[in-house]
Amino acid sequence: MTEEMRGPGDEDGARAVLPLAEGQRRVLRIVQQYLDATGEAPSTSYIARRLNLHHETVRQHLQACHRKGWLRSPSPSGFWCRIA
């Protein structure tokens, strides 16, 4: 992942993606690291423990990342998937 964390469609300009706040970038980084290591998306609780945040704060960051085009909707199990 690059330092500035590019969003979907950035390579060819096909889709505009809104920038992320620092907390959102931190959450997204954990999601990507976990996906790279396991092939599965992390739980909100896992992200909260890793970043020492309340699970509701993590949920809000995940929702913001989703609204901004950086994450897919949560699966039925409540886990989030990074857009490839």
Q: pLDDT per position in the chain (84 positions), as tens?
A: 433 444 554 444 445 578 999 999 999 999 999 989 998 888 999 999 999 999 999 999 999 998 898 987 666 556 666 553
The model's pTM: 0.73
Q: What are phi and psi of 82, to 5 degrees?
A: -75, 140
CATH number (1.10.10.10, 1.10.357.140, 3.40.50.150, 3.10.20.30) of 22-67 reads 1.10.10.10
Other C-beta atoms closer than 10 Å to the C-beta of 61 total 26
Task: In whole angstroms, give the CA distance from residue 17 to residue 57.
Answer: 22
